[in-house]
Structure 1
């Protein structure tokens, strides 16, 4: 990643020329970056038996798309930039953005307690945490998933009202769907609109994401990829309590790279949305080399691959981690690698971007496979692009 590192190889001029159009080499049929993506993607697909893979890269506002395999083994339909994938917990970044958007519009304050918006929770232990705690997994010890016996909103409120923390708010990070789900409920309630409509009718259109959904309409179902679980059985997301808020978004590589570009400030948006996006990049807690923003996770850049692999490991998802509150919170940074993984039973996703370098990547697959190869692939590609970018200057 450094200018004297192995990534800046002798063929660098050819790669950069092909990417940035600085010479006749830009007309070469296959640039080295294309070959790098293709070779790495095919290796991952073969190793993990992934039917279809969609990759989008943005470099200084220039998008590149790489689509491989099929959206469905049964139909043989090819993956395209418009194929819809389940993105699992990357959905949480939209929930966080909805909350900051509500805040910028004066509908809520992230420093508030949940009981201000849900009177059922007033006086409960949960009413002692802030909305920031909900959006940073630091409420005090929620489990990863909503308990199976919670099947409706009334049971959910009973669960939240009787919840008992394992430790004080803001002292440990426990990655959790219930807390971000609750933040999504509160954000939507503050806007007087159901959560799915808040995303589909307000946030997605404002982001320019016109092919993204919580509930895929019948007219778009042909674009919805078939997912496959670790046993290669076909599966798709089942509706559940707080599924929409925590892991329910279906989107395309084309729409998701646009969202990355909005986060990179490469796309024109109104001042309100721009502020809301920036507010999701505020750092609230430190966990070793990782800074916990509002759902997004960031690392000082340049960053080592080992650090990213550790930060996106099962250990971070399933075990509690001591967290140090940043006082005051850290304003949005430029020299950082920002990322989020997402999985459902039949899909695997990863998004990452580097504001300082104006680089970003999205990797979507219709198979549940480990985080490590996703992070490795993204690191390999963005490192090459960074090397080219610096050579240009």
Structure 2
């Protein structure tokens, strides 16, 4: 499969052998699931760059939580199921869930030209008279760039400085400036014919939701998702004092995730305790909103990969499927993956990010899910 790119029962250091890194954990090592998680998490945490991870699992309606490492370098505080992490692009699945509500409520149609729902005149948001549709936004086929304004030159800088440069740039970046920059965006292929990952497209999806409901994105998030599911620690914002310190692979503290303008695309903060509730909800594909958000607009490719309303959907050769999304900022990495046929989901949140972390967290979730299916 291709990867397109939160109260410990007790605190006890666990040592694999003399050659391995000592890692604190609250894993009791009693059940087969405990042992499976231990094997996967310890292998991941042996990398000297790793700081802490929190793992949440929902299986047949029962929740399990495991934590490893520390909340902060040179400290011994173990993270918990209440530790607050940036979940980065997993935020897009919340936007997809809200779009499912808008579709079923008759507020929008999936094939609508997005200009029907955004303020201003945007003749540039089409290619050869083919407009960008809401569906194009959700499966990253709009042709819109990853960031506005274009940040390709910024990403040519040494990686250590990119995060700081972007954080400084977007610190005072306003919605008004985003709208101005959107007028300069160029679509260079027929929307719906090519894949191009776009945070901008998801930001626009958030704007559309606000415009059709006449409520802020944060209000919609609360009304339709976090309040009904009692996800009391899941919030939009960058200034929460509870947010963990985050690091790159060199142990350098990284800046927080820019500004609330990015909320629909990657600005939600959450915990494993809350995200287990979110996974439990999304395991119920008989729920009309869940079903719509998981349904791809186009047929899966030859590898079995497709995209619903931002959710990644992979169908295995045996016909079963997994629904997931990864997330990564310059200091946080994450994976949230559900396996409907097994009534199971896994979320892993980390306060360290590097070039391999998202993929390796995905592998941990995949191994836990697939191995559990064999039990």
Instruction: Specify the alignment match of 2:131 in structure 1.
Output: 128
3-state secondary structure, aligned to 2:206: helix
Q: Do residues 382 (structure 1) and 372 (structure 2) align? A: no
Please give the alpha-carbon distance, in whole angstroms, between the structure 2 residues aligned to 1:125 and 1:283.
23
Q: Measure, in 2, the Cα distance between the counterparts of 1:188 and 1:277.
A: 20
Post-superposition shift, 1:202?
A: 4.3
Per mean C-alpha deviation after superposition, the further-off stretch among 358-367 and 30-39 is 30-39
Q: Is the 8 A contact 1:121 1:160 kept in 2?
A: no
Alignment: residue pair count = 321
Q: Give the whole-Å Cα distance in 2 for the aligned partners of 1:342 and 1:246.
A: 10
2:307 to 274, 292, 297: 292
RMSD across aligned positions (CA) = 2.4
In the alignment, structure 1 residue 248 sits paired with structure 2 residue 267: yes
| Deviation digits for residues 1-38 of structure 1 (CA, Å, limit 9, x no counterpart) | xxxxxxxxxxxxxxxxxxxxxxxxxxx96123312211
Q: CA deviation at 1:216?
A: 6.5
Q: Once structures 1 and 2 are overlaid, which stretch shifts more, 115-124 or 149-158? A: 149-158
Shift of residue 144 of structure 1?
2.1
Q: CA deviation at 1:57?
A: 1.4
- Quote the residue 2:346 is aligned against: 361
The whole-number CA distance in structure 2 between the counterparts of 1:246 and 1:124 is: 22
Give, in whole Å, the separation in 2 of the partners of 1:121 and 1:336: 41
Which of residues 283, 288, 291 is equivalent to 1:264?
283
Structure 2 counterparts to residues 112-191 of structure 1, below 5 A? 112-126=112-126, 128-139=131-142, 141-147=143-149, 151-191=173-213
The match for 1:57 is: 57
Under a length normalisation based on structure 2, what TM-score does the superposition of the two structures give? 0.79
Q: Does residue 206 of the first structure (1) align with residue 228 of the second (2)?
A: yes
* In 2, Cα distance between equivalents of 1:196 and 1:239: 16
Cα displacement string for residues 315-361 of structure 1 (whole angstroms, at most 9, x for unaligned residues): xxxxxxxxxxxxxxxxxxx8211111100111000011111221211
Query: Which residue pairs with 1:345 in the alignment?
Result: 330
Q: What residue number does 2:296 align with? A: 283
Q: Which runs of 5+ in 2 are unaligned?
A: 1-27, 152-168
Aligned partners of 1:29 and 1:343: how far apart in 2? 29
Distance 1:367 1:60, change over 3 A: same
CA distance in 2, matches of 1:360, 1:79: 20
**Contact 1:348 1:364 (8 Å CA) reproduced:** yes
